[in-house]
Structure 1
Amino acid sequence: MFNWAKQQLANVAGTQEPIYGPSAIKSVATEAEKTPYTEISRNDLKWQAMDSTSVETHTFYIFGDNGYIALAQLIYSNVAGIRTTCQFNAKVFSSDPSSKPHLWASTPLNNHDFNEDKTSFYADDCAIELSEDGTYYTIKSMNDPNAIVNLKITRSTPGFQAGTTGTTLYGTDMENPWGSMRHAFWPRCVSEGTITTKDGPMDFKGKAFFAYALQGMKPHHAASRWNFLNFQGPTYSAVLMEFTSTPSYGSTLVCVGGIVKDGEIVIGGVDSTATHTQVKKDSENDWPEPSDAKYTWAGKTKDGKAVEASVEGSLGERVDRVDVMAEVPGFVKTIVAAAAGTKPYIYQYHPKLSLKLKIGDEEIVEEGTIFTEATFIS
């Protein structure tokens, strides 16, 4: 009970958590031992809208056939059951940030609501709707005249989550966990529509990726570091999402990933790795910024063929370095700033690299578009 009370204090006040050790985290990998992954349905994409401290997100990464890259994201946050805030973010990456900055639009939303089964979200001048058959989202926002969003994202392969629930649990009593982390993905989608800026409409016909995430606790208590990769090739797509828990939970590594092609999941589960093979010290904040990286996947197809895959090479010049504290909504800032030693930065890259894939005896090499992030929190 005392642990639970200390945890509640940490949740509200941002105080540092005690060291509970690795026994206080139950990785989704334990579910994946029996069931590497499950395909997700419309039911798995409901907004939970928790009434305790949490951050829930829908994030869409869009890769236009014309070379444009954008991100559209809805963040639903709750602070200690006291205050709920919703924010819509849109980012259009500049091909030459030195001469033209990235477009970043972040708007607090008013009068939010959900449809009856909580698969669609509405607010003033904003709607993210899941289709009745669960195969596509429409994303519309007129909250910022600099970035008017009108997109449709249709999955071209089933979505999945690791294990049976996609969820890692935190707490000293796993029957009553005090925190959680869940991810679900649509790894391969087609996109259509526009983001209209001051310069006019930008066409985003192309490929896309969708990630659902729910951090059922303070974000900086859940993880200290993140790695994320999304690969989109002519035939295959790959996703990898890795986080390292804070020292309070034994700095436990949790990595989920998968490889898909049109119409089918090749593999999914927790047998993935992300390694920064070369790093350089960021002169502004001392984080070890990656310059080269290697990502791997392993598993078995539904018919039992062994699969190994990797993406490896130079990440090139970063496309952006995001000072999270400068861009997150104010209420999140107040939670995170209270935690000593928290200085979150996200490094974003967009290199052209190849996916090397071995399925049984068949070897495939496919060059594609990559979007990858390395996040350092504490």
Structure 2
Amino acid sequence: MFSSFFSTAPPVDPTAPNFHPVSSKFKDAELYGELSPKDTEMLCTSSGFVTETQVFYTIAADGTSIMCQVIHSAVGVWYPTIQFTCKIFNPKTKERIWKSINVSNYVCPAPAHDKRSSKADEFSITYKAVPGSDYPESYVIRANPTPELQIFLEVTRPAAIPGFKIGKGDQGGYSYFGPDPKNAEGYVIHRFWPRYKATGHLVINGKANPVEGPGMFVHAIQGMRPNLVAASWNFAHFQSEEHGGVSAIQMEFKTTDAYGLRGAGSGGVMVNIGSLVMDGKLVAVTAETSGPNVPKTDKQVVKSRAIHLKPVHDPETGYQKPTELLFEWAGPSLQADAPGTYSASLTVDVGDVENPKGLIEKVDVLAEIPYVIKMAVNYVAGTKPYIYQWINPATLSITPPGSDSPTNVEGTFYNEATFIS
């Protein structure tokens, strides 16, 4: 710890970038990075400040939203905390089930499997590979979070819809914090399955409810205190069975003021990652950097944007919540038989404070995160992070290469807006 007093290294330029977004690291034609088996293995680190999640978002045929998540949290000298959380919401009946438990006897890898599989007394997630088949990968999720709820789901990835990260190789997917990416102060990475097929059932209070429908999977790691990673997040998840299977996803975060492209104080940089699936095929991957000192133009080949519209003050949370949101995608086609650019857009009306539309919940983050993280994270006094969660019917307008007019696709849209500071 005393070496810094005697360092002979040149001083860091205070206007040099101290944030290095993955969305700026790769050329337009190099955004798609295939996943290796190691990419979706759990790190399960026990040192430093690392939060790691596996999240499965399913939209059942009746419109029910099902989220299952494993959270592995390492907080310095404390033993890692492992949570299993699930949220089930039926937009027709408004029935909502939310369970979050600290699990016992967590093991990763699960016996006879690699680190894509894990288990505890309360759940198991088992990865299976069937190379060469129409569905070469799957996860089986079994969970008994409470006596009133049991979950069994198998999610399978179609061969024509591979998982992805932004950019190829070991460095693909990573955004780095700090002046030197090779000695980073922290990092963020996301790996996705943009569309899967889910089958199974939920047992709620002794009654079995069959589940079948599309969804998406994300494996995410934050190698840094969460209050330093981002000031806000947006997440978008559209699924439809029309046109052979369509999906559109986005994950976006905005850096805090401390991390930006011109050093400390130049933050507010937005990193947006997305993808489009059409006709049951992955057709485009998108990634865009925006914010201070990064001008946007409508002539860009690649767009990946989440825009809050008509914000209003929410006295319950203290934040300016959107009443509408606009999501935009554009990127080079990944299909050899359809060269050119795919583009898409979606606008969703989520209502105002008094008359919300599709609101599942406003999640008080500090009430839900593990105690040790809450104690270790120094949120600014008076700051209360919240996640708005919505699910609504929506129309995705998607334009294939060479088309003069968009194809309108009707589907279900789940989205989140997270405010941290």
TM-score by length of 1: 0.90
**Is contact 1:59-1:73 (8 Å) kept?**
yes
Higher-Rg structure is 2
2:99 is aligned with what amino acid?
A
SS of aligned partner of 2:48: coil
Counterpart-to-counterpart distance in 2, 1:140 and 1:154: 15
**Is contact 2:138-2:157 (8 Å) kept?**
yes
Counterpart-to-counterpart distance in 2, 1:151 and 1:195: 8
Shifted more, 168-177 versus 132-141: the winner is 132-141
Residue 58 of structure 1 corresponds to: 54
Shift of 1:251: 1.7
Counterpart-to-counterpart distance in 2, 1:326 and 1:94: 23
SS of aligned partner of 2:375: helix
> Does 2:365 match 1:324?
yes
- Cα separation, partners in 2 of 1:323 and 1:96, compared to 1, 3 Å: farther
Per-residue displacement from partner, 1:194-241 (whole Å, max 9, x unpaired)? 122215222211111111110011111101100110000122101011
Structural mapping, 1:231-310, within 5 Å: 231-234=238-241, 235-249=245-259, 250-261=267-278, 263-270=280-287, 271-302=303-334, 303=336, 304-310=339-345
> Equivalent of 1:85, from 64, 81, 101?
81
Shift of 1:59: 0.7
- Cα separation, partners in 2 of 1:75 and 1:238, compared to 1, 3 Å: same
**Is contact 1:75-1:88 (8 Å) kept?**
yes
Shift of 1:117: 2.9
**Is contact 1:158-1:263 (8 Å) kept?**
no
**Is contact 1:145-1:197 (8 Å) kept?**
no
Structure of higher RCO (CA pairs closer than 8 Å, 6+ residues apart): 1
Shift of 1:182: 0.5
Residue 162 of structure 1 corresponds to: 166
Counterpart-to-counterpart distance in 2, 1:64 and 1:101: 14
**Is contact 1:188-1:261 (8 Å) kept?**
no
- Cα separation, partners in 2 of 1:29 and 1:4, compared to 1, 3 Å: farther
- Cα separation, partners in 2 of 1:346 and 1:305, compared to 1, 3 Å: same
Counterpart-to-counterpart distance in 1, 2:191 and 2:40: 8
Shift of 1:22: 7.2
Residue 38 of structure 1 corresponds to: 33
- Cα separation, partners in 2 of 1:338 and 1:319, compared to 1, 3 Å: closer
Residue 109 of structure 1 corresponds to: 103
Counterpart-to-counterpart distance in 2, 1:148 and 1:3: 54
1:135 is aligned with what amino acid?
E
> Equivalent of 2:125, from 117, 124, 128?
128
Shifted more, 100-109 versus 166-175: the winner is 100-109
> Does 2:56 match 1:26?
no
Shift of 1:46: 0.6
**Is contact 1:56-1:77 (8 Å) kept?**
yes
- Cα separation, partners in 2 of 1:313 and 1:90, compared to 1, 3 Å: closer
- Cα separation, partners in 2 of 1:305 and 1:281, compared to 1, 3 Å: same
- Cα separation, partners in 2 of 1:275 and 1:69, compared to 1, 3 Å: same
Shift of 1:21: 6.8
1:268 is aligned with what amino acid?
V
Shifted more, 250-259 versus 327-336: the winner is 327-336
Structural mapping, 1:5-24, within 5 Å: 23-24=17-18
**Is contact 1:220-1:342 (8 Å) kept?**
no
Counterpart-to-counterpart distance in 1, 2:231 and 2:3: 21
Counterpart-to-counterpart distance in 2, 1:4 and 1:245: 27
**Is contact 1:61-1:210 (8 Å) kept?**
yes
Shifted more, 179-188 versus 110-119: the winner is 110-119
Shift of 1:89: 0.5
Residue 398 of structure 2 corresponds to: 357
1:255 is aligned with what amino acid?
N
Residue 194 of structure 1 corresponds to: 201
Structural mapping, 1:69-84, within 5 Å: 69-84=65-80
Residue 295 of structure 2 corresponds to: none
